[in-house]
Amino acid sequence: MEIKILAIEASTRENSATNLKLDRHLSTFKNAEIKKFRLSELNLPLFIDDREKRNWATSDHLETLLEEMTKADLIILASPLYWYSVSHLMKNFLDHWTYYLRHPKYPLKEIIKGKHFELIVVGHGEESNLTQAVFQTLKQSVEYIGAITRAAHYFTEHSVRDEL
């Protein structure tokens, strides 16, 4: 049976370590239909919380990502580690989830409930405390929308560490 994988990568650099590590990780999946999106290549507006007016900015690219999320069996979020957190591209994407919790066409909790996520963070330091905050934030975000965190990996130049 073929698994459908959606990979969302959040580095600003085309040949970044995050992009390379994600591609290497994706190559380990056999019998998989893989779709990969680089957030740096998409037109995602800056999220502005204007819930009183219900006037959130959206884009065709954002709705394409949500549509692909509905089709995927596994969603992989990959980001470089910046100051104990994800990149601004990933943070902006996650912030847009706020709007889609109430969206009539893409009610996020309904379309994501029970889906599996893998979390990938790429950095340079080997200290174990570098990734606690970022993986806690990502895991709680994924579980808040009703999904399941299947795995969390921290990649460096010379190693990979599983965080779950």
Positions of E strands within 10-163? 32-38, 74-80, 116-122, 148-155, 160-162
Residue 164: is its pLDDT beyond 90?
A: no
pLDDT at res. 104: 82
pLDDT digits (tens, 9 = 90+) for 14-55: 889 999 999 999 999 999 999 999 999 998 888 887 766 666
pLDDT digits (tens, 9 = 90+) for 71-106: 999 999 999 999 999 999 999 999 999 888 888 888
Q: Where are the domains of the chain?
A: 15-43+56-124+136-162
What's domain 15-43+56-124+136-162's architecture? 3-Layer(aba) Sandwich (3.40)
- Answer whether 117's CB lies under 8 Å from 142's CB: yes
Task: Report residue 88 as tokens.
Answer: 């601004």
Residue 56: is its pLDDT beyond 70?
A: no
3-state secondary structure of 41: helix
Residue 68 banded pLDDT, cuts 50, 70, 90 = very high
pTM, rounded to two decimals: 0.94
Whole-angstrom Cα distance, residue 22 to residue 90?
Answer: 15
- Using a pLDDT cut of 90, give the percent of the chain over it: 65
